[in-house]
Structure 1
Amino acid sequence: MNAFISRARETPPVPDLMALELLASAVLVLDAKGIIRFANAAAEDLFEISVRQLVGVHASSLFGHGEELQRSLAEAMTNQFAAKRQLMDIERAGRDPVQVSLTVVAIHGQPWPVLLELREIEQQLKVDREERLLDQAQANRELLRNLAHEIKNPLGGLRGAAQLLEAELPDPSLKEYTQVIIQEADRLQTLVDRLLAPHRAPHIVGDVNIHEVCERVRSLVLAEHPRGLKIIRDYDISLPEFRGDKVQLIQAMLNIVRNAAQALKPQIKEGDAQITIQTRVTRQVTLAKRRYKLALELHVSDNGPGVPPEIRDRIFHPLVSGREGGSGLGLTLAQTFVQQHEGLIECESRPGCTVFRILLPLL
């Protein structure tokens, strides 16, 4: 609120400028001399300095090779273009330069003649990747749901026929074969039920403390692996409660931590397996094409061998597993439950370090 008031004091009362606060991209509004007269909240985050430090300085001083921007500003002032896009490097004290996509927009008939819109190249690639993941996950869910329903009905008929046949068999030794049919039908039925589980279970929303979820999962996994596995807690206790389905979130996180523990079997035998659960607050996050001021960032990391490269890009796909005998549904279901909370799961992996990152909106 204080930052908003400071902007109002330092900027003439032009109502259109206030709308720029709602944009996810960083925006700077310049006067005819190239001096910054307005900066939105996203610009503060990008440059990592306050609006008071931004307003009043020449825009070119914020960038490496600022002379390129000066030329573009001169062209904008003389109406040589309506909008021009270029790549620039942001200079930040004590940090490596950050490459951004900079759009110079000439504004006609307004008090301030030039607007700059900036997006981090890496951030834009990340947003595009997230959108692809969401679309792909939705397509996978629809495919699985339709496929499960198509399998379910004939599967019940197959099992029933095997039971009737078993009752009519004159030789008891032949029942061994009907039992194989019945048992395999039951196994497939269990698989189908797991595929349909996220769509059947009601979404029960209540107040959720993420650390209660973490502690429940930690105790369950340690009970399954009482020796050789260490689970480290790194919690931000200032995190607020949020509205969500506690049961679904426990299941999602349990699937991820169990997956990590299964990948750590060689390290568990040697006694040096380690999983770290970390919670943090992150700000100004875009999830499912929506911008949130505040989000929960939860990391589950392990010191295992890493995800095999051949399935690294497909680990959230259904029926894809990196271990023998795995169903390939654990991470798929985890992703579904997190996405039902408008969140996102990402994975980065290399030998010796695999990190699953869960983002959940708070505000």
Structure 2
Amino acid sequence: MKLLRPRESAEAKAWETFDLLATMVAVVQPDGTCLFVNSVLESVIGMSRKALLKRSMLEWFREPAALSEAIDAVARNEFATRRFEGALRRAVVGHHEPLPVHIIVSQTEHSHTRILVEMLEIEQQTKQDREERALGQAQVTKELIRNLAHEIKNPLGGIRGAAQLLAMDLPSPELIEYTQVIIHEADRLQLLVDRLLAPHRKPHVVTDVNIHEVCERVRSLVLAEHSRGLEVVRDYDASIPEFRGDREQLIQALLNIVHNASQALAERIDAGDAQIVLRTRIARQVTIGKQRNRLALELHIQDNGPGVPESLRERIFFPLVSGREGGSGLGLTLAQTFVQQHQGMIECDSEPGRTVFKIVIPLP
């Protein structure tokens, strides 16, 4: 067994901190030889840390000249940091295309022998920026809707009460019928306001949640409504553990998404070939917002419908935005609110014939 010298042992211990990062990190010598790679880089390249150490990092890049030049310049103290784009090769089965990355080469305390190379997936960076914008927009929207709902709620009671009093004094049945229209519409608006305020009124009831029990409950409800023409396929990962959450909120969030999918599948249901797939998986090293999570639940809801219209894709989670005539536009907004209350997020990827909503929730 090889014994590390004191300085090497201290460095190795310090470098272990890089395993806590969500980005790919390597510590290299000026010639590009790897002294350390973190767990994320291991996973992305598809080789173990032991196999990567003592090998040149340059061999994992499609065009290594830029990286070699940057490492050399930083080692000679020409620059403290160099940033540029590159393409990282991978040994992972099924990933033959190089991965576009943003590379940051930085000095360390011993830059003549130790250079820090950090890599961020360009797609991941774009995704994180998009998530942050979505979270910010959702928070602003929730505050706006809550304030607006309260402002609507107060005069609605007065309108309804005045219509009831007026009905008592009117002699003509025809005129009384008009007051009933006012009362009916006031009640309809009251129901809409109650739905807008529902996520803020109900307490967050935390219990142990089995996501597959949630899926089965939603599956049975949807199949009861569509007994023919619709197939709801289970694709579950039985190893997913229970987690702490609000079971009823998660049922409602999933039901809203699946219900929307079944409505979009109306023509295929009539044709008898409509399909919704409920797929659960465990994801590792997931970043939600700015929080990195070691494990997360991924719940995919996939349908073979016509897809979300391109004009709605950027606004699909906004309240009162609906692609269906007569729709309230609240289903996905409430689903997003419930998932966010579990520190999770919802994403949508849609094209004609395939729409996937992905719910991601951190696991303990």
- Output the TM-score relative to the length of structure 2: 0.95
Pairs within 5 Å for 1:237-316: 237-316=238-317
* Residues 221 and 125 of structure 1: CA distance in aligned 2, closer, same or farther (over 3 Å): same
Distance, in Å, in 2 between the alignment partners of 1:263 and 1:8 is 65
Shift of 1:67: 2.0
Distance, in Å, in 1 between the alignment partners of 2:240 and 2:8 is 34
Q: In percent, how many aligned pairs have the same letter?
A: 58
* Residues 10 and 266 of structure 1: CA distance in aligned 2, closer, same or farther (over 3 Å): farther
CA contact (8 A) 2:343 2:361 kept: yes
* Residues 315 and 358 of structure 1: CA distance in aligned 2, closer, same or farther (over 3 Å): same
1:212 is aligned to 213
2:147 is aligned to 146
2:235 is aligned to 234
* Residues 286 and 129 of structure 1: CA distance in aligned 2, closer, same or farther (over 3 Å): same
* Residues 172 and 268 of structure 1: CA distance in aligned 2, closer, same or farther (over 3 Å): same
Distance, in Å, in 2 between the alignment partners of 1:316 and 1:218 is 23
2:79 is aligned to 81
2:189 is aligned to 188
Distance, in Å, in 2 between the alignment partners of 1:74 and 1:327 is 60
Greater displacement, 29-38 / 83-92: 29-38
1:156 is aligned to 157
* Residues 81 and 32 of structure 1: CA distance in aligned 2, closer, same or farther (over 3 Å): same
Distance, in Å, in 1 between the alignment partners of 2:102 and 2:110 is 26
Residue 85 of structure 2 aligns with an amino acid whose one-letter code is: L
Distance, in Å, in 2 between the alignment partners of 1:8 and 1:335 is 53
* Residues 212 and 9 of structure 1: CA distance in aligned 2, closer, same or farther (over 3 Å): farther
Match of 2:51 among 39, 50, 53: 53
Distance, in Å, in 2 between the alignment partners of 1:10 and 1:252 is 53
Distance, in Å, in 2 between the alignment partners of 1:253 and 1:217 is 7
Distance, in Å, in 2 between the alignment partners of 1:163 and 1:17 is 74
Shift of 1:326: 0.3
* 1:186-231 alpha-carbon deviations (Å, 9 max, x no partner): 0000000000000001100010000000000000000011111110
1:4 is aligned to none
SS where residue 279 of structure 1 aligns? Answer: strand
CA contact (8 A) 2:26 2:38 kept: yes
Residue 249 of structure 1 aligns with an amino acid whose one-letter code is: L
Shift of 1:108: 3.5
CA contact (8 A) 1:20 1:40 kept: yes
* 1:280-336 alpha-carbon deviations (Å, 9 max, x no partner): 111000013100010011110111111111111111000000111000000000000
Distance, in Å, in 1 between the alignment partners of 2:350 and 2:257 is 14
* Residues 112 and 284 of structure 1: CA distance in aligned 2, closer, same or farther (over 3 Å): farther
Distance, in Å, in 2 between the alignment partners of 1:48 and 1:160 is 68
Distance, in Å, in 1 between the alignment partners of 2:352 and 2:64 is 41
Match of 2:63 among 56, 62, 65: 65
SS where residue 64 of structure 1 aligns? Answer: coil
Residue 10 of structure 2 aligns with an amino acid whose one-letter code is: P
SS where residue 324 of structure 2 aligns? Answer: coil
Gaps of at least 5 residues in structure 2 are none
Distance, in Å, in 1 between the alignment partners of 2:256 and 2:97 is 37
Match of 1:39 among 32, 37, 50: 37
Q: How many residues in Structure 1 have an aligned counterpart in Structure 2?
A: 357
* Residues 280 and 358 of structure 1: CA distance in aligned 2, closer, same or farther (over 3 Å): same
Distance, in Å, in 2 between the alignment partners of 1:9 and 1:241 is 43
Residue 13 of structure 2 corresponds to residue 12 of structure 1: no
Shift of 1:59: 1.4
- Output the TM-score relative to the length of structure 1: 0.95
1:3 is aligned to none
Match of 1:90 among 88, 91, 107: 88
Gaps of at least 5 residues in structure 1 are 1-6
* 1:245-301 alpha-carbon deviations (Å, 9 max, x no partner): 000000000000000000000111111111111001110000131000100111101
CA contact (8 A) 2:32 2:71 kept: yes
